[in-house]
Amino acid sequence: DGGITQSPKYLFRKEGQNVTLSCEQNLNHDAMYWYRQDPGQGLRLIYYSQIVNDFQKGDIAEGYSVSREKKESFPLTVTSAQKNPTAFYLCASSIEGFPGNTIYFGEGSWLTVV
């Protein structure tokens, strides 16, 4: 079954902890993205990667880190430096090379600070 798989669906983080959200795709897409969704603010880009072993900061990268060691995987780590991490996190992917290519999304992960 092709698609983008995010895990876990729900994650609770204690103050001062780092947590990692998983994103795997079997669509053979070159590009992968992480977005954060807060109520009333739409989606904001955290990091994106257009090719393996390379990634760029998006608009709100502070307090987050990523890696792209494999084409199909793009994990996001929310570090303790992220002061307000409670949000819905969406991973996405697309074929690279043309701005008209559609970006497809996973089902999202909820992160809550407790």
Identify which range of 17-25, 33-41, 64-72, 75-83 contacts other proteins by CB under 8 A: 33-41
Q: Residue 97 has which token pair? A: 């090379």
2 scored as a contact of other proteins (CB under 8 A): no
Query: How many residues are present in the chain?
Result: 114
40 scored as a contact of other proteins (CB under 8 A): yes
Nearest residue (CB) to other proteins, 16 versus 40: 40
Nearest residue (CB) to other proteins, 18 versus 28: 28
Binder among 14, 15, 100, 114 for other proteins (CB under 8 A): 100
63 scored as a contact of other proteins (CB under 8 A): no
Q: DSSP labels for 28-95?
A: --SEEEEEEE-TTS-EEEEEEEEETTEEEE-SS-TTEEE--SBTTB--EEE-TT-S---EEEEEEEE-
Distance CA 96, CA 106 (A): 18
Q: How far is the CB of 87 from other proteins (least distance, A)?
A: 13
Distance CA 24, CA 92 (A): 10
Binder among 42, 54, 84, 114 for other proteins (CB under 8 A): 42
Which residues face 49 on adjacent strands? Answer: 32
Q: Which residues of this chain interact with other proteins, rule CB under 8 A?
A: 4, 6, 31, 33, 35, 40-45, 48, 50, 56, 58, 90, 92, 94, 96, 99-100, 102-108, 110
